[in-house]
Structure 1
Amino acid sequence: MASHPLGAKTDLFEDLPDEPPEVNTTSSPEVWQMFFDGASRIGTSRSIITGVGVVLTSPHNHVLPRAFSLTEPCTNNVAEYNALLIGLELARELEIKHLEDYGDSQLIVKQMTGEYEVRNDDLIPLHKAATKLVESFKNFHIEYVLRSKNTHAEALASLAANLAQPLETTQWVTMASRRLFRPKDVLEANATHQVLDQPDPKDWRLPIINYVLYGKLPEDAREQESVRWRALRFYYDSTTKAFYRRSYDGLLLRCLSKTEEREALREAHDGTC
């Protein structure tokens, strides 16, 4: 069985021999990285709610973020060990063989490397379980990192603590990015409102808006059925006078008129684009 160096300052693989090594044609092992963290907060009933975050990164930079809310209150150190254990179990399920582990708890990291002795009765069984899981990997390395280097896992742990779920339940959270809101956006939004206030008779959105707002359908029977079916996935915001289509993941996608399409294309291809 291969050895498992746990020291924070120990190389991931064995030191090279003193003699010049033979030429090795085999590919280098694919090393995954894992960041873990635990977070606790006080709930509305003054109870402690805990979450853990784990971020696995493949050798090809594919990121697998995971967040879990723990169903029982616990100390920060117990939460940190749970984050480590959950991450190790995920890595084992993915059949990862070479793993570099990073956490911002010096206590847990130094206990795993053997620099600190485990004396707390609550942590002893967790440490033993983690040590046992480490044997699932051909090579394992754990290292302490500053909290500023562990922000992704920390954010997931905080999110899980704030969105605590009952046992065996899952909640999907969609994370999206968008550009900074600027005064120009206000002008474009106002222009959009004017377009919707006085729509083009050939605007493809008009039959759906008329049906959604007023229950009006086109005269053509086939077009009536099409409008009814399509309207199920559309939403008109009467406050902002904006028209949206619901995507399969729940996001609202802004629907554009021909004029808005041309403006969006012009903006996208403007400047260095």
Structure 2
Amino acid sequence: MTYGMFMVAKKLKHYFEEHPMTVVCEAPISEIISNKDASGRIAKWEIQLSPYVALYKRRDAIKSQALADFLVDWAEMQYKPPLPEIEYWRMHFDGSKLKEGLGAGVVLTSPKGDNLRYVLQIHFRASNNVAEYEALVHGLKVAKEVRVRRIICYGDLDLVLQQCSGDWDAKDANMASYRFYVQQIVGFFEGCEFHHVPQVENDVADTLSKLGSSRQEIPPGIALSHLRKPSVKPSPESESIFVPESHVVPMDIDRVNPGTALPNPGTSESKPEETISVDYMVIDMPVFVVREAPTWVKPIKEFLVNGGLPADEAESRRIQRTSKACTIINGEMYKRSITGVLQRCVEPEEGKEMLREIHQGECGHHASSRALVAKVFRHGFYWPTALEDAEDMVRKCNGCQRYSKQNHTPASGLKTIPITWPFAVWCLDMVGPFRPARGNMTHILVMVDKFTKWVEVKPIRKCDGHTAVKFLKDIILRYGYPHSIITDNGTNFAKGEFSWFCEDNKIRLDIASVDEKEGKKDTSGEETKRPWNVALLRPFYS
């Protein structure tokens, strides 16, 4: 056993060095290896195993353990499938009362995180509690039209929530009517709960309610509704709701003819009891116009609503994969694109009309098939055969086939637009050598702005990169950091300290080669010819 331990440590040396090892054996190996009186081969193996720290354990009887392991390995496991996750919609509501009037705000959030925001403008006088109840009633009606099954309602007014939950009694007659009305709507849901949250967590609904009460302009993406009369019949015993005649907008059939005089409210002919007579609002009144689902969407909608799948395994797998990007909003199917845009699913015939209008309508520009499909998708519409329909339309278009072979290239070559950014692009070069002047100056550094043609010069003694960096720092101090510098391939500009300075300050260095005729040296001792006018530079040099 000791020899076997020695061979294992020798063959698996890398395991023993990196990991703690446990040796389980019936023989007392730890006592044999740690015996100080050992000699011969045992002592040799002990020396070889001494660098490794191993834990030695004695093997106990395994008769009973073998029976337990056998039962675990061969017993049939009773698999219980996980319980399906129950998806809840969340609704945040709030009411507001300002000097301009009453308003309410509702935010509906789907289980996938899609938000539906609504603003309600209330056109009758009432208390803030009534505005809260109207917000709750409107939100529950919208949820019912969207066919929500389970919903959790959040609000920051504890009175309304406790009354709807049944924990508190409603002493006011109008509050009792509202509570009974809410309980009627709640009966359409499989599950509904009311929870109180702080105002900080209900800030979105609070903002929407203030938009409705202040009568401000509603931003795009938010639905606006007008409430002309309360959802319940006002009780004469309560003063929380009052509907004057001036605040009730009559229907077209009730409008007074232009030639008929309005009755005087102060005369005996006026009927005050008729000014507060209102009718009940119908619970089942539709809020949205629900369009019929397209044919190709019905299997996906059936799976999302009822969980039904076809018998074909491949088709059912395709529906399950496609449904992950789909959601139902207001009874209509929407598909979420890869950029997060919700696209309404339409019939192929309706999609072809959109493509035809974009391609050859009044503002059509006969774009390609991919451009047409991309434009339709960006506007929030989707159907699976969009690309094939667009390709077929472009292929059969008379105008595209007639004029596609014509040359559409410009008649003249394209011209580069000059840079119109002062002191952004500079040209840098070195002129010389000249005859030594005062201070032993032999060369001149010249920088010219490409746009304004402004010239900056500096006489220098040394033609190295450090001198060029000092000159550039003076330019930066007066005109700011340039975007790029155009210079030749000189070592003092293209390499070394100057190039490192430009790289550290994010200044692009463009290298342009110098013409051989202009950059050729003159061995006669005369001044070297450069693309600069030396006569103009002499005043700076002297």
Greater RCO (Cα-Cα under 8 Å, separation 6 or more): 1
For residues 84 and 259 of structure 1, what CA distance do their matches in structure 2 show?
61
- Does residue 102 of structure 1 match 2:154? yes
For residues 148 and 110 of structure 1, what CA distance do their matches in structure 2 show?
19
Q: For the structure 1 residues 26 and 76, does the alpha-carbon distance in structure 2 shift closer, same or farther, using more than 3 Å as the test?
A: same
The aligned residue for residue 173 of structure 1 is 219
Compute the TM-score of the two structures, normalised by the length of structure 2: 0.26
- Does residue 89 of structure 1 match 2:154? no
1:50-69 correspondence runs (5 A): 50-69=102-121
The one-letter code matched in structure 2 to 1:122 is N
For residues 64 and 144 of structure 1, what CA distance do their matches in structure 2 show?
20
SS in 1 for 2:113: coil
Structure with higher Rg: it is 2
1:232-271 correspondence runs (5 A): none
SS in 1 for 2:106: strand
C-alpha displacement of 1:27: 3.1
The one-letter code matched in structure 1 to 2:89 is W
The aligned residue for residue 34 of structure 1 is 91
Structure 2 unmatched ranges of 5 or more:
1-78, 222-362, 364-378, 380-416, 421-542
Residue deviations 1:50-83 (CA, integer Å, cap 9, x gap): 0000000000000111001011111001110101
Q: For the structure 1 residues 259 and 149, does the alpha-carbon distance in structure 2 shift closer, same or farther, using more than 3 Å as the test?
A: farther
C-alpha displacement of 1:114: 1.4
For residues 83 and 187 of structure 2, what CA distance do their matches in structure 1 show?
24
1:69-218 correspondence runs (5 A): 69-163=121-215, 172-174=218-220
SS in 1 for 2:185: helix
Q: For the structure 1 residues 259 and 96, does the alpha-carbon distance in structure 2 shift closer, same or farther, using more than 3 Å as the test?
A: farther
For residues 197 and 96 of structure 2, what CA distance do their matches in structure 1 show?
16
SS in 2 for 1:101: strand
Which aligned runs of 4 or more in structure 1 are off by greater than 6 angstroms? 257-260
For residues 106 and 182 of structure 2, what CA distance do their matches in structure 1 show?
15
C-alpha displacement of 1:112: 1.2
Q: Please tell me whether the aligned partners of residues 148 and 189 of structure 2 are also in contact (alpha carbons under 8 angstroms).
A: yes
Structure 1 unmatched ranges of 5 or more:
1-21, 44-48, 165-170, 176-228, 230-247, 249-256, 261-273
C-alpha displacement of 1:173: 1.8
For residues 101 and 258 of structure 1, what CA distance do their matches in structure 2 show?
62
For residues 186 and 418 of structure 2, what CA distance do their matches in structure 1 show?
59
Q: Between Structure 1 and Structure 2, how many residues are aligned?
A: 150
For residues 258 and 143 of structure 1, what CA distance do their matches in structure 2 show?
65
The aligned residue for residue 458 of structure 2 is none
For residues 419 and 205 of structure 2, what CA distance do their matches in structure 1 show?
43
The one-letter code matched in structure 1 to 2:120 is F
Compute the TM-score of the two structures, normalised by the length of structure 1: 0.51
SS in 1 for 2:98: strand
Q: For the structure 1 residues 148 and 258, does the alpha-carbon distance in structure 2 shift closer, same or farther, using more than 3 Å as the test?
A: farther
Q: Percent identity?
A: 27
Q: Please tell me whether the aligned partners of residues 150 and 190 of structure 2 are also in contact (alpha carbons under 8 angstroms).
A: yes
Q: For the structure 1 residues 258 and 77, does the alpha-carbon distance in structure 2 shift closer, same or farther, using more than 3 Å as the test?
A: farther
The one-letter code matched in structure 1 to 2:220 is T
